Structure 1
Amino acid sequence: MSTQKHSNNENLFRRFLNILGPGLITGAADDDPSGIATYSQTGAQFGYGQLWIAVFTLPLMTAIQEACARIGLVTGKGIVAVVKERYGMKMTVGVVLLVLVANTINIGADIGAMAAAAQLVAPVSFVVATLGFTTIILVLEIFTSYRVYAKILKWLALSLLSYVVTVFIVNEPWLTLLRATFVPHIEFNFAFLFIITGVIGTTISPYMFIWEASEEVEDARERHLLRGGKRPKLGWSDIRRMRLDNFIGMLSSNVVSWCIIVTTATVLHGNGITNIATSADAAKAIEPLVHSFPHAGHVAKVIFAVGVIGLGLLAVPVLSGSASYAVAEAFNWRASLAYKLNRAHGFYGVITIATLVGLLINFVGIDPIKALIVTAVINGVVAVPLIFLVARIADNSEIMGEYKSGRLSNIFLWITFLFVGAAAVGMFATYFTK
């Protein structure tokens, strides 16, 4: 009897793992080293003042990512391909250029942050670490099959747990946290709104829209739902599977961003440290300030640093991959991680170039962190028109058929559009009136 129960539990767990895919990977990639740096700066600079953002953005982030995933799953095409069909090449090129530039800068900052984090846990030079991580990422992304690569990315998503663990190593004022989480605090000044726009830009990012839609196409092809260039043969069970995967991914992402803000607010802001340059700086600063139990500071630093490396290994391929999907879809190139290199030169070429240019940013005198903060803000601004396009496409019965957006989805999509737009407008308004 116990053997049968164990077998049933094992089968249930395997079915659950099979459900997880593009949504989980996208959510985990959202907490990349650059995102960790942004959340860390938020906690260090404003304490618990922006903690409510993690809860408030969850339904918005879930809604926009679900719409993108649904578009990819239903049409069998990526976001850029559908935008091109409906709105023309000029609109498409604008979107692609902005995503390509933002993602490349993001890649550079992430590789640099991973190398700096590696130096906190092992005696390795910055140059060797950056070259090593870049090589590992390119080899895995270009030379492994989609099935194997998707499994690797899913396991790397476990790196998210490192930040949940860190919260419980630090003594937290739980009642204060509860209030800050559910009662919004807003300051109408440029610094506050600039960081909020950056947080939104790294939480609700255009590269995530493109990646999750394209990975749903890849996943549909892998499950033999998509054949011969025709629309995938779907049932509502496929939509429900996608929605569960997407929700788990977005929930995981926002729980981790909440944990990062909490940890840095308690340990750094609480001790007068209000400026963090990188995610590795956050890990390093935590060590001497944690007093929960002997050696807690070192443990927290190592956990924080390992999380930066693991999520960087997951996020850089997502950044370069989404940029490549965007370019390939715009110019009708073959675009799939399932293809061998000799079948998709352009697709893998963009991945390689974006990754190598990102690597070079760390060695040509450009401050990748300053560029990164600006990029996060740009993402927050660029996301506004892209959310508008996604909302229109997802609600178009001509494109989506019976799987077009329902009332609840539409409500949250347009709230997302208004919220992200308001944050961007508020930032610019305070800048010109300060």
Structure 2
Amino acid sequence: MPQKTKSNPRKKRFWKWLTVLGPGLTTGAADDDPSGIATYSQTGAQFGYGQLWTALYMLPFMTAVQEACARIGLVTGKGIASVVKTHYSKPVLYGVVSLVVVANTINIGADIGAMAAAAKLLIPLPFILLTLAFTASILLLEIFTSYRVYSKILKWLAMALLAYPITVFIIHQDWLTVLKATVVPHIEFSFAFLFIITGVFGTTITPYMFFWEASQEVEEVKEKRLMPNGKIGWQSIYAMRKDNTAGMIISEFTTWCILLVGATVLYKSGVKDIKTAADAAKALEPLVHSFPNAGFLAKLIFSVGIIGLGLLAVPVLSGSAAYAVSEAFNWKASLNLKFKKAYGFYGVIIVATLIGLIINFVGIDPVKALIYTAVLNGVAAVPLLFLIIKISTSDKIMGEFKSGWLSKTLLWFTFVVMGGAAVALFFTI
């Protein structure tokens, strides 16, 4: 008889850990979208190591916010808009939905413009033609392809983000200075500093992530995370927390690397203001400096990353807006449904994406638009955070799965800090 091979316990644990990764990992990856890359690069270029600490200190707050959103979806079996509809007044519901739809639509436009600007570094085609091509491609794939299949393909393109961590360790760094800047906060009470830090907050803890992860957890509930009696148990909550924590750690480590590369490469070389995609791509030149045509290779890596992340993020943006609207009006909502079974849901996706496309025709610089969008998200997130706190701490809505003292503390602190940054920004205008 053939002998049975002994299984490797470590290998089994690793694969078991991978199986719990889902909405949290996808949300974390989509968080480092073109708007995030542009904002973090500009922050490093403008202030050097001055805001490097934000990546470390935002991690627990970002994790707490997304955990609360995921828990709401997992426990209630509803998206955030649907929960608001059930427990709050219509003005609150319409205000919430309008806020996320407007913010997401502007973000879609900025991301499409960034993708076109990045592609233009490689392909000498008109900017308008490239925006049209990307918009058509995204809509066709989003409507006629299962998002699970679509996202698996695009995650490989998102691997281009590894260029930033690799570049961090290729460049000579004064690691003691870097460590100090990472751990010790540096704050300036100036419009420029508060403007960009509001953008960093807004592109890290951003409204579309709230709605997206909650709705994706609802999809997970429908598939695999129910107990035999049809209810959610603590085991499901723990699995969600592992997924969420892994996604947020990966996202914030990437953020730290982008900030550090911007500070080390751009700031030290005198590039204090990123005006074009080519300026942002210069941050990756140390990665390929020993190769012929290093400038072109840096542009290639940067462009592939921006385009891949844009293709991944735009469906998340339009999808989260569509989930919010569909839940408000009781429409069928899922990216895994066929178009003919969810006309309203896909209608919102199409309209939001097309309006985002039109935004690129009003003459706003695509790179600057990404940063302005991040700042807008930083302001829009504040009232939505308040609502997330009220829902996640409610006995009536969450029962035994309501936020504990640690979650409450982190959520309220996040609300105060982001609200304070937004108010301070307006006072310095």
Fold conserved between structures, TM > 0.5: yes
Match of residue 17 from structure 1: 18
Deviation at 1:86, TM superposition (A): 2.0
Assess if the C-alpha contact under 8 Å between 1:156 and 1:314 holds in 2. no
For residue 276 of structure 1, the aligned residue among 274, 277, 295 is 274
1:52 maps to: 53
Distance 1:415 1:371 in 2: 29
Q: In the superposition, relative to structure 1, how do residues 178 and 297 fare at CA in structure 2: closer, same or farther (>3 Å)? A: farther
Is the aligned partner of 1:331 residue 2:332?
no
Does residue 180 in structure 1 map to residue 181 in structure 2? yes
The amino acid of 2:223's aligned partner reads: E
Match of 1:27 in 2: 28
Number of residue pairs matched? Answer: 427
* The 10-residue stretch of structure 1 (372-381 or 36-45) with the greater mean CA deviation from structure 2: 372-381
2:310 corresponds, among 309, 312, 324, to 312
Secondary structure at 1:47's aligned position in 2?
A: helix
Q: For 2:230 and 2:163, how far apart are their aligned partners in 1? A: 37
Q: What are the residue-to-residue correspondences of 1:16-415 with 2, within 5 Å?
A: 16-122=17-123, 125-152=126-153, 154-155=155-156, 157-223=158-224, 225=226, 233-279=231-277, 281-283=279-281, 285-286=282-283, 293-295=290-292, 298-415=296-413
Q: How far has the Cα of 1:124 moved from its partner?
A: 5.1
Specify whether residues 280 and 171 from structure 1 end up closer, same or farther in structure 2 by C-alpha distance, changes over 3 A only. same
> Is 2:277–2:367's contact at 8 Å kept on the other side of the alignment?
no
Provide the rounded CA distance (Å) in 1 between the counterparts of 2:217 and 2:417: 27
Letter in 2 for 1:286: A
**What is the rounded CA distance, in whole Å, between the counterparts of 2:341 and 2:278 in structure 1?**
39
Separation in 2, partners of 1:393, 1:112: 35
Give me the whole-angstrom Cα distance separating, in 2, the residues matched to 1:246 and 1:46. Answer: 30
How far did residue 179 of structure 1 move? 0.9
- Look up the equivalent residue of 1:414 and give its one-letter code: W
Cα distance in 1 between the residues matched to 2:366 and 2:404: 41
CA offset at residue 139 of structure 1? 2.2
- TM-score, normalised with respect to structure 2: 0.91
Q: Per-residue deviation at 1:164? A: 1.6
Aligned mates of 2:413, 2:3 — CA distance in 1 = 49
Greater Cα shift, 172-181 or 137-146: 137-146
Contact 2:38 2:371 in 1 (8 A): no
Local SS of the residue matching 1:273:
coil
Distance 1:382 1:109 in 2: 16
- C-alpha distance in 2, partners of 1:224/1:64? 21
Q: CA deviation at 1:175?
A: 1.9
Unmatched 5+ residue regions in structure 2? none
CA–CA distance in structure 2, aligned partners of residues 157 and 4 of structure 1 = 37
Tell me if structure 1 keeps the 8 A contact 2:45–2:274. Answer: yes
1:417 maps to 415
Residues 44, 269 of structure 1: 8 Å contact kept? yes
C-alpha distance after superposition, 1:6-25 (max 9, x if no partner):
77666544433321111011
Paired residue secondary structure (1:376) = helix
Q: CA contact under 8 A between 1:73 and 1:232: conserved in structure 2?
A: no
Secondary structure of 2:226's match?
coil
Which stretch shifts more, 49-58 or 382-391? 382-391
Counterpart CA distance in 1 for 2:9 and 2:128 is 49
Once the two structures are superposed, what CA deviation does each residue of 1:222-259 show, in whole Å capped at 9, x if it has no partner? 227399xxx96212111111111111111111111111
Distance in 2 (alpha carbons) for counterparts of 1:43 and 1:232: 49
Deviation at 1:132, TM superposition (A): 3.2
More moved, 168-177 vs 34-43: 168-177
* In 1, Cα distance between equivalents of 2:398 and 2:160: 35
1:128 Cα shift?
4.4
Contact 2:389 2:408 (8 Å CA) reproduced? yes
C-alpha distance in 1 between matches for 2:100 and 2:326: 13
**Separation in 1, partners of 2:122, 2:5:** 44
User: 3-state DSSP class of the match of 2:49?
Assistant: coil
- Unpaired runs of 5+ residues, structure 1, are none
